[in-house]
Structure 1
Amino acid sequence: MTTPRHLAVGLVGTGRMGAFHAETLAHRLPGVHLAALADPAPGAAQRLADRLGCPMATTDVDELLADPRIDAVVIVTPARTHAGLVEAAARMGKAVYCEKPMAVALAEADRAITAADKAGVPVQVGFNRRYDAGFRAAHDKIVAGALGTPQLLRSLTRDPELADPARVPPWTIFLETLIHDFDALRYLNPGAEAVEVFAMADALVRPDFKERGLLDTAVVTIRFDNGAIATAEASFQAVYGYDVRGEVFGSAGMLTMGDLHRTHLTAYGPDGAATECVTYDQDLFHDAYVAELADFAECVRTGRAPAVTGQDARAALAIALAAIESVTIGRPVRVGEPERR
């Protein structure tokens, strides 16, 4: 009996999230082989390769993409490089997993989608909440009709701290943080699309960086074409932990999801009751991060279409860009109006 060849995956970008995904590819997914690492920072790929036993490390991304032994590529680089790398990988015939956002402009997203379609390769985007057990169970109940008609939705992301504001590009709160919430709201309102957005944002955590374009606090109201109204909010400083939650209110009830408690332990003492909260995304979404790469590998092996596509990434980006436009001009914006950046 012939043993099937392991799926050979190359990873581009060996920073914090890249290192976690590399560990997953190397050690957590049966039938997957971490074949190569690339990072333009001198020594970065080699250090991670040495730790994980990866046979190839390079500073030249093109070298990795051109390697015929590599079946698929995982892209975990800075957001503004994603679309170009998706295009380049697709042109080399590689299946692509790309961290969010897939692009920061709709024209970029369209070029990436077109390149993948032309090459006949799948593109999956890293919207991890779709792989979280609670969010997925909520989605399944909504699809089954258990909630009736979704009417009010809410999604929030509160990061534990803003470590280095000088390194945060303008509009990050919409393009890289709330982009998760925009996708989650689409996921929890299946079949509906956003039609109008009104957004407010300010620098409440670090007002001294506002003139440099950093907005660290935002609330977005979204109207969908099925009549549902949603809110998404984000903050870059939740002193109590990493807080990600969702809620859907419908004609037949309500669903809530998300829990930032590290365990279900509550300690009672002379100062009252206390619980320990998660402060790190890789703790809160550890299983979801692994599950999304496992699903990507299965898509590549079987030819099944990804559950989270380039079109999903484009739709979430369209909401993010409308939110940026709304903040800029101070009024509601129709989703899909010309980009103003």
Structure 2
Amino acid sequence: MLKHSLFAALIGLAFAGSAAPAADRPAPAAPPSSQNRIIDTAEVRAAIERGAIVWDVRGADEYKKGHIPGAVNIGDIGKVLRKQSDEDYIALAQMERILGEAGIDPSKEIVVYGDKGNPYAYFGLLTVEYLNGKNGRVYHGGIDDWRAAGNALETEPAKRAPVALKLTTNPGVTVSTKDVLAAQKRKGVQFIDVRTAGEHAGEDIRAIRGGHIPGAVNVPYEQNWADPETPAKLARKQVGTKDGLALKPADGLKALYAKLDPNKETIVYCQSGVRAAETATVLKDLGFKKVKVYDSSWLGYGNTLDAPAENAQFFNVGALNARLAAMQKRVDALEKALAEARPAR
């Protein structure tokens, strides 16, 4: 207890208003204590002590409500670093400018976080590794675990010194649609579809067509959590905390993926690569050796009409237009009723 109190006091001093700016902190004095990519609150504190960059990937409004002291933010990573049209990464030159202005250097030690269980934090880690970062970590518990542990929060935006970046990409981290089509012709490649059962079955269509890559094993990414039903329970107010969003213990995760071979090439996909980033990270920490994320995922594959698919179901544009027209009629009728109900002036 005494050691813990002393450590907490030191952390408090480090975050005091008179502390040096994040960019002026000394370089890491020691390597991370764990080789795992997924770290907990104590490991985040230790990383901060080493001078690691802390990257909050949430939207600017949430960031301003409270963030880990010293954490930098470029806004919602899913909107800032991805193109709206296909949700693939923006041009490398744009990433150099955006990350450089925020002082986020992928070559440094970086801890990425968001809300507890938020897959966009894992997408942040994937981005670090995609940009050849070798020392990235993700804080699964995020701001919720940080707050629950009684740690201080800041509301003023943190600033790091801008850096001039010349980024390159790591071809061993992600694959393209062309790579996926080629991989299907090789023996020993396993595909994991981490979308919902409805998406996998082709019932929930989110591209020109629904379905899945032939032979893909469906393990929804929420199955990594202690209680996959937590979001629904929170919405129904059946639980009051996000505790169920914690990852399963290692034994539970190993059991979840027991039918897969950790020595085989493994390609993980979802709708646009975000949910896949979480499962891919979990697999790497479990010892899977050749894991890659299909960045374009089903958004790219489902729209590539000559790519083979199982449970293929095409999006019915005519039916959608009919439903939209019916909804518009209801809206028009409601507006007319409201107008007639208003008292005359």
Could you say which TM-score interval applies, normalised by the shorter chain?
Answer: under 0.3
Q: Which of these two proteins has the greater Rg computed from alpha carbons?
A: 2
TM-score, scaled relative to structure 2? 0.22
TM-score, scaled relative to structure 1? 0.22
